[in-house]
Structure 1
Amino acid sequence: MTLSDLNQNLFLYINSGNQLSNTLNQFGIFIAKDLLYITTIIFIIFWLWGNEVVKRYLMKAFLFTLIGGCISQLISYIFDLPRPFVLNLGFPLIEHTANGAFPSNHMFIFSSIAFSYLFSPFKKLGIALIFVAWLVGWSRIFVGVHFPMDILGGFLLAFIVNYFGLGLWNKYQDKIMHFILSIYHQIFNKLIQKGFIK
């Protein structure tokens, strides 16, 4: 069995089908589509009302995810590997553009956030977020928009970016935070002074 055969067979094993319960289908769709928006809102809330330590590690996660996201888009453009539904494989539960599937951007984003905290004093949070990332990875296969190799690619890219970028972050984090917070305080100075946000 080739790697391609293994990839497709594993996809067909995980992917949804008409025989599965509607509850499981809706759960898979929610994780695959909506969890990213909820996570973004949570991050914004923690940034606006969190202390400087919270802001520091939120910024770390954001920067690593932003940088890695650009790399992910470049890889996807270069390789332009098809999604399962383009090959008429599986049972898609959501609509998606037929752009390059490798690596999975959703998996990369959640994995990058997880590794950002795993490689920090908040290791327990990082471990919990790793489980969330793999739940997202499962959901993207389940709803029929990614192969398992796309998910693995997003996970490995997140690890590489966070592992090799950690030294640069440790070296320049104070300068980065001073720059970011100075802009933040200039823009939201009145709201901060009134105690609406921190």
Structure 2
Amino acid sequence: MQDIDAALFELVNAGPSAPAWSLQFASFASDILPALLALALAIGALFDRRWRHAFFTAMVGVLAAWLIVQAIRWAFPMPRPAYYGLGIQWVPQGIRPGFPSLHAAGAFTAAFSLWCLPWRSPMLAALAVAATVAWSRLYLGLHFPSDVVAAAMLGALVSILAERGIRLMSRSRTSPASARAPGGRLRSRTRRA
């Protein structure tokens, strides 16, 4: 598996003859696109309650993804390609662990959080943005393909669990409250004559 990962990395990583504009675009995709995706979600949340739900799901999911990535990196510190002397690392990252990609995990978590919307086009557009972020991390020499694939799977799982958890919490807040009397006692359902 490591040989395939390294070979795929070498195919995508920008070589010494890469045009400057492609490196600038990859840096933009890596650093700015995730913020623009969050901004688009926030703008949608201003105008529609379904977007507010998606935005809140994305924020909870991204926080959870960040915590999970940090835990994985602490428990299983897998090096980045530069550690093995592979490719060119266009943006310095040092020797920090790289599995899974935090940038890709956040972008895919935000993108998959849009699955709860009644329209598919926002999620598909956001997934294209997340895929571009993931590509940029490989192109800039910062991650192996397995790092971004694991991040995409983590993002999908975390966003679904975050959305389900938020939905369950909102249901539990609204349903049983009407059946309780002041003081926390259940109201009697029988009528007194």
Please say whether Structure 1 and Structure 2 have the same fold, judged by a TM-score greater than 0.5: yes
Q: Which protein has the larger Cα radius of gyration, Structure 1 or Structure 2? A: 2
Q: What's the offset of the Cα at 1:43?
A: 4.4
Unaligned runs of 5+ in 2: 174-193
Q: 2:129 aligns with which of 117, 128, 132?
A: 132
Q: In 2, Cα distance between the equivalents of 1:22 and 1:44?
A: 32
Q: Determine if the alignment matches structure 1 residue 14 to structure 2 residue 48.
A: no
Q: 1:120 aligns with which of 117, 120, 123?
A: 117
SS of the equivalent of 1:150 reads helix
Partner of 1:196: none
Q: What are the Cα deviations for residues 58-111 of structure 1, in whole angstroms up to 9, with x where unaligned?
A: 111111111122111101111110011122110111112321101111111110
TM-score after normalising by structure 2: 0.80
Q: 1:118–1:124: 8 Å Cα contact kept in structure 2?
A: no
Q: What are the Cα deviations for residues 132-156 of structure 1, in whole angstroms up to 9, with x where unaligned?
A: 1111111000001100000001001
Q: 1:81 aligns with which of 75, 78, 89?
A: 78
Amino acid at match of 1:146: H
Amino acid at match of 2:26: G
Q: In 1, Cα distance between the equivalents of 2:42 and 2:124?
A: 21
Q: Determine if the alignment matches structure 1 residue 163 to structure 2 residue 160.
A: yes
Q: In 2, Cα distance between the equivalents of 1:53 and 1:61?
A: 12
Per the alignment, do residues 41 and 115 of structure 1 end up closer, same or farther by CA in structure 2, a change over 3 Å counting? closer
Q: In 2, Cα distance between the equivalents of 1:146 and 1:67?
A: 21
Unaligned runs of 5+ in 1: 177-198
Q: Which has the higher helix share?
A: 1
SS of the equivalent of 2:96 reads coil
**Aligned residues, how many?**
173
Q: What's the offset of the Cα at 1:157?
A: 0.7
Point out the more displaced range, 59-68 or 113-122.
113-122
Partner of 1:59: 56
Q: 2:42–2:55: 8 Å Cα contact kept in structure 1?
A: no
Q: In 2, Cα distance between the equivalents of 1:51 and 1:118?
A: 15
Q: Determine if the alignment matches structure 1 residue 100 to structure 2 residue 102.
A: no
Point out the more displaced range, 33-42 or 78-87.
33-42
Amino acid at match of 2:74: Y
Partner of 1:191: none
Amino acid at match of 1:145: L
Q: In 1, Cα distance between the equivalents of 2:51 and 2:164?
A: 20
Q: In 1, Cα distance between the equivalents of 2:39 and 2:128?
A: 20
Over the aligned positions, Cα root-mean-square deviation in angstroms equals 2.0
